[in-house]
Each structure stands twice: as C-alpha cells, then as structure tokens.
Amino acid sequence: MRAALIFVLLTSLICGAVAAGVLWSAGVQADRERAAHRHQVQATTTGPAKDPPRITRSGATPEAVAPAVWEHPDDVRRTGAIQVPARTPEGRTVTIWVGDTGAPARPPVSAADRALTALAGGTLAAAAVGAIGAGSLGLVRRRTEARRMVAWEQEWEQVEPVWSGRLRRGSAPGTDDD
C-alpha cells in the first residue's frame, strides 16, 4: 500500500506539472494572439476623473474614469471614457490599450498573472489526481481489511474451542473428537 501511495503521489505531481505547463503554453499563445490586435496609444483627458476611486484588484492603484480623446487606427479620432489614476486632471496624457477598431481594451496579461494561473491550475490538477488516487487506495484498503477480518473470524471459530478448552458443538464430555 505504501508503494501504491507513493506511486499515486508521484503521478499527481507529474499531472500537476503537465497541467501547469499546458496552461502556461496556452496562456502564452493566447497572449500572442491578443497582442497582435492590441495597441498602445496616447489619450488626452478632456475632463477630470469622475467617480470615487475603486480598487480593481489587490495591490493595484486606485482607478477612476475620465472622458478622453485619442487617435487610432489610421488617425481616426475617438472619444470615450477610459480608466485613469485617481485625481487625474483634465488635459493629462495617459497611455491606454485599444483594439483594432480603436475601442479601449484591457492590457495584455502580465507574465506574473499567467504564471499564477498556471501554478493554480497545476496545483488543482495535482490535488484532484492525488485525492482520487488516495481515495481509491483507501477503498481498496478498507475492502482488503474487511476480507482479512472475515477470514480471521472463520479461523478463530476453528481454533478457539481447542485453545480455550471449550467443547465443540455436537461433542459430549469425555469423548475425544481429535
């Protein structure tokens, strides 16, 4: 059982590593495809930042929304609301990401975010394979133990009357059945 458990744990680690590698590769490929359709442009705010600042994710700087103007593609002038640092004044130049049509788009995923996603996916895969394997081994052990206990009971029924000096069923005192 120990060897089987070690095999299950090694298998789960290998599956986790493979899953992390696949997720990393898929993330890199998706980022390449997105990067081909995302462009950085300079936008100029046409008004002050509005709305109270909100935290977009842990550790990120507070962002607000401000009206802005920018040009893309082919020098087509665009306007709209963009995310800017809190308290950005009117007339400030801000770098934004836009898609092929010139509409604001999310920036590409950072390598750290991609690594975190791959690590989380790999860990989840390793945990799932490990839990399934350990659960299966637990069931096998339980069934093996139950069979062993049934066999022990049957053997004890044979040995106990002789060992304890009690008579077996169907034998009379003073007879020697052995």
pLDDT tens-digit profile of 16-59?
999 999 999 999 999 888 888 888 899 999 988 876 555 556 55
Residues of the chain above pLDDT 90, percent? 44
What pLDDT score was predicted for residue 50?
A: 79
Residues 91 and 66 in one domain: yes
* Domain-embedded: residue 8: yes
What pLDDT score was predicted for residue 167?
A: 64
What pLDDT score was predicted for residue 51?
A: 65
Residues 43 and 96 in one domain: yes
Residues 53 and 5 in one domain: no
Q: Residues with Cβ < 8 Å from 52, sequence gap 6 or more?
A: 64
What pLDDT score was predicted for residue 57?
A: 60
User: 93: domain range?
Assistant: 39-107
Residue 143 has pLDDT above 90, yes or no: yes
* Domain-embedded: residue 79: yes
Give the chain's mean pLDDT. 85
What pLDDT score was predicted for residue 44?
A: 92
Residues 103 and 126 in one domain: no
Residues 83 and 49 in one domain: yes
Alpha-carbon gap, residue 141 to 133, rounded angstroms: 12
Which amino acid does the sequence have at 56? Answer: T
Tell me which residue has tokens 């909100």. Answer: 54
Residues of the chain above pLDDT 70, percent? 87
**65, 75, 85, 156 from 51: Cα distances, Å:** 7, 30, 12, 81
Structural domain total, the chain: 2
* Domain-embedded: residue 61: yes
CB 104 within 8 A of CB 98: yes
Residue 115 has pLDDT above 80, yes or no: yes
Q: Residues with Cβ < 8 Å from 54, sequence gap 6 or more?
A: 62, 63, 64
* Domain-embedded: residue 64: yes
Residues 56 and 97 in one domain: yes
pLDDT band with cut points at 50, 70 and 90 for residue 109: confident
What pLDDT score was predicted for residue 48?
A: 86
* Domain-embedded: residue 122: yes
Q: pLDDT tens for residues 116-134?
A: 999 999 999 999 999 999 9
3-state SS of the chain: helix, strand, coil percent to 5?
A: 50, 20, 30
* Domain-embedded: residue 175: no
Residues 32 and 64 in one domain: no
* Domain-embedded: residue 178: no
Task: Assign 59 to helix, strand or coil.
Answer: coil
pTM of the complete model beyond 0.75: no
What pLDDT score was predicted for residue 61?
A: 60
Residues 120 and 134 in one domain: yes
Residues 123 and 148 in one domain: yes
Buried b (16+ CB within 10 A) or exposed e, 129-165: bbeebeeebeeeeeeeeeeeeeeeeeeeeeeeeeeee
Residues 115 and 150 in one domain: yes
Q: Hey, what are 101's tokens? A: 């049509």
Residues 47 and 131 in one domain: no
Residues 4 and 90 in one domain: no
Q: Which of 73, 91, 107 is the last residue of a domain?
A: 107
**7, 69, 74, 127, 158 from 10: Cα distances, Å:** 5, 56, 55, 12, 44
* Domain-embedded: residue 23: yes
